[in-house]
Amino acid sequence: MLEIKNLHARVAETGTEIIRGLDLTVKAGEVAAIMGPNGSGKSTLSYILAGRPDYEVTEGDILYDGQSILEMDPAERAAAGVFLAFQYPMEIPGVATMEFLKVAINSQRRARGDAELKIPDLLKKVKEAAGTLEMDMAMLKRPLNVGFSGGEKKRAEILQMMLLEPKLCVLDETDSGLDIDALKIVADGVNALRSPERAMVVITHYQRLLDYIVPDTVHVLSRGRVVKSGDKGLALELEKNGYAGIVGEAA
Ligand SMILES: Nc1ncnc2c1ncn2[C@@H]1O[C@H](COP(=O)(O)OP(=O)(O)O)[C@@H](O)[C@H]1O
Ligand SMILES: [Mg+2]
């Protein structure tokens, strides 16, 4: 479903290269964990997948369902089923969370040629998903992410993911800022979305999240490249021995 080939990318403004020959394949139905030390390029990779214009791809390609997405803007990628849950979700003052969800869902439906969801149907869907995440409906009247705690922001991200039903989900450090109960709720939400037609890329610094979201494959990023791949055992090995060994081996 996702095939990244020899990807090189840099910061558009300064030309600093951050992704340096990255290869990664994630099949449909697979949950791939991306691990790696701070500054290895994990968040940058997720931004590039989402199509943020502040990064430039200088070499290589990103194929999604066999097609290059490099020429697609972020909205086109989203309409095609690519979803990114941010490490630091943006605050949107003045836009109630519910209104945001409505616009996000319906603009994607329009882009796909589907009819817009009627308000009662939308409310029903949102209520169901919010219930799974143990989110209070009152929260959805508040502006998106404004004054939300770390855990509430992450829940709001997972709620969007549940409602948009993407084919490729990229979750950046979904565990940061979560207490153990919130972590379980978010992991349950993610696990409920596991499906043979969907691929997930779970970026995390710590193995802790992977106790709850058990990955099919684990890839270690260092200096903008995948330097080691394995199964869930690799995450446990990293937990025990740290990154130094693997990152050193590759350098
Ligand atoms: N806009 C930018 N300008 C300059 N350097 C950047 C920019 N974005 C990211 N970087 C640098 O790229 C490296 C990778 O960052 P990041 O992708 O956030 O790492 P990670 O998520 O793995 O911690 C870091 O050294 C970071 O400082
Ligand atoms: Mg990061």
Residue 105's domain is classified under what CATH number?
A: 3.40.50.300
Around ligand 1, the residues with Cβ closer than 6 Å are 11, 14, 16, 18, 36, 38-44, 54
Q: 121 C-alpha to center of ligand 1: Å?
A: 41
Average pLDDT over residues 128-145: 92
pLDDT attached to residue 173: 82
Task: Work out which ligand 1 atom sits closest to the CA atom of 173.
Answer: 21
Whole-number Cα distances in Å, 198 to 29, 77, 167, 201: 5, 15, 5, 10
Tokens matching residue 92: 């949107």
If you measure from the C-alpha of residue 41 to the centroid of ligand 1, how many angstroms do you get, rounded to a whole number?
A: 6
Percent of the chain with pLDDT over 70: 98
Dump the DSSP string for 165-220: --SEEEEESTTTT--HHHHHHHHHHHHHT--TT-EEEEE-SSSGGGGTS--SEEEE
Q: How confident is the model at residue 250 (pLDDT cuts 50, 70, 90)?
A: low
Determine the atom of ligand 1 nearest the C-alpha atom of 221: 22
Which pLDDT does position 186 carry in this prediction?
81
Q: Please say if the pLDDT value at position 71 is more than 70.
A: yes
Contact 57, 9 (CB under 8 A): yes
CA of 221 to the centre of ligand 2 (A): 11
| Residue 176 clears pLDDT 80, i.e. is over it | no
Its pTM stands at 0.90
Residue 246 has pLDDT above 90, yes or no: no
* CA separation for the pair 169, 172 (Å, rounded): 10
Give the pLDDT band (50/70/90) at residue 154: confident
Ligand 1 atom closest to Cα of 172? Answer: 21
CA of 35, nearest ligand number: 1
For residues 186-213, average pLDDT:
90
Number of domains comprising the chain: 1
In the reported structure, the alpha carbon of residue 139 is separated from the centroid of ligand 1 by a whole-number distance in angstroms of 32
What ligand is nearest to the CA atom of residue 223?
1
Task: Note down the domain range covering 43.
Answer: 2-250
CA-CA distance, 222 to 242, in Å (whole number)? 13
| pLDDT tens per residue, range 74-106 | 989 998 999 988 777 888 889 999 999 999 999
Residue 241, pLDDT score: 87
Q: Which residue has the tokens 């701070």?
A: 38
Specify the DSSP class assigned to residue 142: S
Within the chain, residue ranges assigned H as helices are: 42-50, 74-79, 97-111, 119-132, 150-164, 180-192, 232-241, 244-250
For residue 45, the CA-to-ligand 2 centroid distance in Å is: 9
